[in-house]
Structure formats: structure tokens, C-alpha cells
């Protein structure tokens, strides 16, 4: 079949002389006018380790595409937000909105330029779901290319990563370390290019999207600065050519079973709660009925097998060392937890991709067999109750316990919470509430990594719970519940909690309850008024006006 299905309307139509003149102007030859145009979109920029090397990867892929006589690569760029840099500042309000800006911008360029296929070269947390959402909306041959994980830092023979820097602040405040050691940890935590090293959001999404079928085998687990990363460019060029020739598109690959594969991997690896938001949004982009109940169903049947940070010991580089993502997927397939018949961007099924992969051995300590699982079900748990009657998301590794009950310590913003924790206002037994930080109230649903890291650093990780209508970083661990819906800004019950109210979080019954009488709740509700929106113009105003709830994936094209 003709591989220039879309671009030919510009290059072959005699009534489009201006289009053709513009393409000759950028250097096209007559032969190029017959070729498929592959948009190569990079989220590369210099200011973030996750993204600093992505433009080089995009250029390498373009060079490999040149060896094919029926397609050519055209690079364009879109934005990124560094969560690690913006965390704990007002910049974090722009993090989740960046996902939808990325999706919108990729859709816009590919549609407007009539590209026949798209390769998305991505690094940081929101890059990946944004890219996949665009790929599904466009439904043209497409592959996601992850830039890879960072190498670990080191201090006093202890491995470091981005969360080490956050937790060092809590240790400094608690007097565990002095200022000189604090500075040393900061300087050594990030040694070069690549996304945050644990099973945080970037590595969670990369692993899950490989399981979804939209990334090539091993793409998620090969580290950014590993020499094997270079060989991926030729493999990517070959794969996108195969997809073009055979007209295999994202909606041929993504289905309910492949979404189940992705969420299975999230739970088996102890992945980030952000995966819930992102896969709800991905399902929405694909028009697949897939909700919180599906995520809980998959978590119930998926054991936690990986001892990975933040709650465990190891990093993504260690997964690479034991055989990479395909070795993990092969084991999950062998024990009946993956659908092997799902199509992938190789043009083959998941089972065929894995057929010749070397099986995991269990002489290592990174991934455990199901008989020795760290937890019999997944770490992602969906909670309901009067405090979250539309749902909430907990990340329970089992190390924190399964039930927590205590008095509320209420903060109406992250900055208030950070100051309160630093001032010693939070004590053992408290349930910290951080509210008005949801998708509309934040706006932008910022991540609460700084307060959770300070709690951990202060030695309160096992004796304090934290709940919020905001999000948690993939680096967060402890007894935490986020994505409370309805959020405070829209009048959810979390807005009515007062200091000292008793709250119970129960991961055995998957409930979260405010133990206050209905009469008192009704009295408080009658006195409550929604606060004014924090922004009167700009992207955050638009986002707050259009964003759906966390239980609907925070999509911005629902209404």
C-alpha cells in the first residue's frame, strides 16, 4: 500500500502549489515528494536531566530513517515541565496541565502538517501519557520512544536518586545530618541524563506503555546513558516502516486487554499512583470504557513482585541488569497475568515478542516470584467512602500497615503544610490533610512530594498518614491517599474537615471515612463557600475551567 496516506494530499495534489513550494523550500527533492513523512516529536530541552538528551535521540532516529527510500523524518518539538525542579514551588501547578498541552500540540502539528506517522521521543513524567494520548487521537502509525532512566548517584557508598535530595531536607530539619552532608547529597544525587531512577512516575509509565504495546521491547529499561540505547534508533526506524507498510495504528494495538496488561505491570512493579490518572486519560483518548473499578480489579489479582524504590531498595538500572522489562513481562505472562495475544508496535503479539526472551532467574533480589511476593495484591488501591465518594487512590506497599486512624491536621495549601511540618506541628498519629490542591483548586493538582519527603526525613513515615485532593509523586512512599474526589474546590467533604476530626483509612476494606455525624457535616456544608479561583487568566485559568475530576483522569476535552 501507499505509505504516504496523509502527506500525499499536500505533495501530490496539483491544487496545493503553495504546500509543495514550502516543502521544496525546506529542501525536499522530487523523490521526497513521494515519500511518507514521519513526524519525530521531541520533548527535549536543556534544563532537565530527563530531557537534556532527547533531541540527540530524535536526530539519531531521523538519520536511521534516511536509509529507507520511501519515508523521511521531520523533527519538531513540544514542551516539558521538570517535576523534580518545580516540586514544592508554584511551578508544580503547571506539571499536570503540561500533559494535555503536549497531547494537544502533537495532535495539532501532525494533523496540520499531514504527517503519515509519528515518533514521540519523551523523557519526564507527563511527556509519556501526553504523547500516547496524542498517538491515540491521531490513530496513525506511531511509536513512543522513552529516553531512559538515570544512573544512580552515590554518597558514602549509598545509592542516591532525586528523592534522596528531598528526604535529606527532612533529615537536616530533624538534625540527623548537618548542612555540609545535606549539600553533598544534593550535589551527588543526579549524575547525568535520564529520568528519575526509581519506580517513580517516569519509569512506571515507560514500563506500562511497553506493556501496553506502544513502545519497543526493552525501551523502558535500557538506561539513558547505556550504549545499548544507541541501537534503539535503527530498531525504531525499522519498526515505524513496518507499521506504515502494514497500516498498523495505535487503535489496532490499544484495547481493554492491553490496558489491563499495563496496569498489571504498574502493580507488579510497585508503580506510581499517577499511572491511575494517566491510564484513565489514555482510555478516554482511545474511547475505551476503563475506570477505577477496573484498576482495583487488576490490583486485586496482581502480586507486588518488585523491591524497587521508593518503598524498596532497587532502581530501574537494576531491572535492566536482570534482563530488563521483557524479562519481567515474560514472567508475568508465564504466571497467567498478561494477555499474550495483544498486538504491539513490533507488528507481533506480546507473546511472540517474549518467546525468545531469557526467563528471569530468582537468584537476584530485585524481582521476586509470586510465591514470595512482597504483597499478595498490588500496591495501587482504590478507596471509597464518605470522604471520597467518587474515589481516591492509595499507594500501599504493606510496609506501612493496612489501617490508620487518627485526628486530622488540616492545611489549606501545600506551602502551609510544609511550614507546619517544619515547625513541628505534625506529630505521630496525625492524619495530615492537604486540600484545595486538586485539578480545579490547585489548580493543576500539584504533587505532594515535598511534604511527604519531609515527613519521611523527620522519622514520621510510619506514624503519620497524609491525604489530599492533590497528587503524589512516584517518589512518594508512606501511608498516603491522594486524588480525593470530589475535591475541596467543588465542595467535596474534604473541604469540611476540621482539626481534630477522626479519620479512618482502611486498605483491607478499601474505605476512607470521616467519623463526624451527618448533622454536623450538614451544618458545616451550609456554612461553606467555594473559594475564588486562584487565576483569572492564562493556562491555569483555562485548565481549571475545563479539567475533569481525578476519577475521570483529569482530561480537558470531556465537556
Residues taking part in catalysis = 473
Q: Give φ, ψ of 439 to 5 degrees.
A: -60, -40
Q: State how far the Cα of 435 lies from the Cα of 499, in Å rounded to an integer.
A: 13
Residues flagged as binding site for Mg(2+): 83, 125-126, 447
Q: State how far the Cα of 375 lies from the Cα of 362, in Å rounded to an integer.
A: 17
Residues flagged as binding site for [2Fe-2S] cluster: 50
CA distances from 231 to 6, 13, 97, 419, 540 (A): 29, 37, 33, 48, 40
Task: Tell me, rounded to whole angstroms, the distance of Cα 87 from its chain centroid.
Answer: 15
Mode of pairing for the β-strands spanning 158-160 and 153-155:
antiparallel
Task: Tell me, rounded to whole angstroms, the distance of Cα 240 from its chain centroid.
Answer: 24
Plot region of 391 (φ>0 → left; ψ -120 to 50 → alpha; else → beta): left
| Exposure string over 510-532, b if 16+ CB within 10 A, otherwise e | bbbbbebeeeeeeeeeeeeeeee
**E strand residue ranges, 151-242:** 153-155, 158-160
**Strand pairing partners for 383?**
392
CB 87 within 8 A of CB 236: no
Give the CA-trace dihedral at 294, 296, 298, 304, to 10 degrees: 160
Q: State how far the Cα of 466 lies from the Cα of 472, in Å rounded to an integer.
A: 10
**E strand residue ranges, 109-206:** 117-122, 142-146, 153-155, 158-160
- Grid look-up 545499548 returns 228
Q: State how far the Cα of 507 lies from the Cα of 509, in Å rounded to an integer.
A: 6
Q: State how far the Cα of 239 lies from the Cα of 229, in Å rounded to an integer.
A: 16
Cell numbers linked to 72: 523521511
Which of 280, 496, 491, 312 is closest to 395 using CA atoms?
312
Residue 229: asked if its preceding bond is cis (omega within 30°), the reply is no
Q: Give φ, ψ of 456 to 5 degrees.
A: -65, -50
Q: State how far the Cα of 189 lies from the Cα of 362, in Å rounded to an integer.
A: 29
Per the document, the length of the chain is 559
Residues flagged as binding site: 50, 83, 125-126, 447
Q: Give φ, ψ of 427 to 5 degrees.
A: -125, 165
CA distances from 512 to 15, 259, 309, 342 (A): 63, 27, 26, 36
Task: Tell me, rounded to whole angstroms, the distance of Cα 181 from its chain centroid.
Answer: 31
**Residue 172 three-state SS:** helix
- Grid look-up 511551578 returns 91
Amino acid at each position: 500500500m501507499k505509505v504516504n496516506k496523509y502527506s500525499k494530499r499536500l505533495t501530490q495534489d496539483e491544487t496545493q502549489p503553495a504546500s509543495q513550494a514550502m516543502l521544496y523550500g525546506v529542501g525536499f527533492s522530487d523523490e521526497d515528494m513521494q515519500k511518507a513523512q514521519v513526524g519525530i516529536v521531541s520533548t527535549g530541552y536543556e534544563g532537565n536531566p530527563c530531557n537534556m538528551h532527547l533531541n540527540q535521540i530524535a536526530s539519531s532516529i531521523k538519520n536511521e530513517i534516511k536509509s529507507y527510500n520511501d519515508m523521511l523524518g521531520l523533527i519538531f518539538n513540544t514542551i516539558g515541565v521538570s517535576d523534580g525542579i518545580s516540586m514544592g514551588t508554584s511551578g508544580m501547578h503547571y506539571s499536570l496541565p503540561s500533559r494535555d498541552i503536549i497531547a494537544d500540540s502533537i495532535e495539532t502539528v501532525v494533523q496540520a502538517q499531514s504527517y503519515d506517522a509519528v515518533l514521540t521521543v519523551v523523557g519526564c513524567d507527563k511527556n509519556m501519557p501526553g504523547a500516547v494520548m496524542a498517538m491515540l487521537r491521531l490513530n496513525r502509525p506511531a511509536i513512543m520512544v522513552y529516553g531512559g532512566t538515570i544512573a544512580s548517584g552515590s554518597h558514602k557508598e549509598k545509592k542516591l536518586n532525586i528523592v534522596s535530595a528531598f528526604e535529606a531536607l527532612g533529615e537536616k530539619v530533624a538534625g540527623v545530618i548537618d548542612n555540609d552532608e545535606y549539600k553533598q547529597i544534593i550535589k551527588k544525587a543526579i549524575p547525568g541524563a535520564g529520568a528519575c531512577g526509581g519506580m517513580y512516575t517516569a519509569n512506571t509509565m515507560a514500563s506500562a506503555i511497553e506493556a501496553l504495546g506502544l513502545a519497543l521491547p526493552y525501551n523502558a529499561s535500557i538506561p539513558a546513558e547505556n550504549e545499548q540505547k544507541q541501537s534503539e534508533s535503527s530498531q525504531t526506524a525499522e519498526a515505524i516502516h513496518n507499521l506504515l507498510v502494514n497500516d498498523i495504528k495505535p487503535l489496532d494495538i490499544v484495547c481493554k486487554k492491553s490496558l489491563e496488561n499495563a496496569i498489571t505491570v504498574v502493580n507488579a512493579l510497585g508503580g506510581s499512583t499517577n499511572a491511575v490518572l494517566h491510564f484513565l486519560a489514555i482510555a478516554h483518548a482511545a474511547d475505551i470504557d476503563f475506570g477505577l473499578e477496573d484498576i482495583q480489579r487488576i490490583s486485586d489479582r496482581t502480586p507486588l513482585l518488585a523491591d524497587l524504590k521508593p518503598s524498596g531498595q532497587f532502581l530501574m538500572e537494576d531491572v535492566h541488569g536482570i534482563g530488563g522489562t521483557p524479562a519481567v513481562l515474560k514472567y508475568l505472562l508465564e504466571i497467567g497475568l498478561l494477555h499474550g495475544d495483544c498486538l504491539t508496535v513490533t507488528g507481533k503479539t506480546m507473546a511472540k515478542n517474549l518467546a525468545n526472551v531469557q526467563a528471569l532467574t530468582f537468584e537476584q533480589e530485585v524481582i521476586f516470584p509470586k510465591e514470595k511476593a512482597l504483597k499478595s495484591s498490588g500496591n495501587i488501591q482504590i478507596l471509597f467512602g464518605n470522604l471520597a465518594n467518587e474515589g481516591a487512590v492509595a499507594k500501599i506497599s504493606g510496609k506501612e500497615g493496612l489501617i490508620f486512624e487518627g485526628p486530622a491536621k488540616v492545611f489549606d495549601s501545600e506551602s502551609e503544610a510544609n511550614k507546619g511540618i517544619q515547625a513541628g506541628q505534625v506529630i505521630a498519629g496525625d492524619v495530615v490533610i492537604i486540600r484545595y490542591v486538586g485539578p480545579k483548586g490547585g489548580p493543576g493538582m500539584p504533587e505532594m512530594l515535598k511534604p511527604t519527603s519531609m515527613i519521611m526525613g523527620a522519622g514520621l513515615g510510619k506514624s503519620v498518614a497524609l491525604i489530599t485532593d492533590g497528587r503524589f509523586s512516584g517518589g512518594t512512599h508512606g501511608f498516603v491517599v491522594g486524588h480525593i474526589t470530589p475535591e475541596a474546590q467543588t465542595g467535596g467533604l474534604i473541604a469540611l474537615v476540621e482539626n481534630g476530626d477522626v479519620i479512618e483509612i482502611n486498605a483491607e476494606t478499601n474505605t476512607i471515612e470521616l467519623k463526624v455525624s451527618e448533622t454536623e457535616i450538614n451544618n458545616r456544608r451550609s456554612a461553606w463557600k467555594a473559594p475564588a479561583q486562584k487565576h483569572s487568566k492564562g493556562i491555569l485559568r483555562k485548565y481549571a475551567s475545563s479539567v475533569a475530576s481525578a476519577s475521570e483522569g483529569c482530561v480537558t476535552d470531556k465537556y
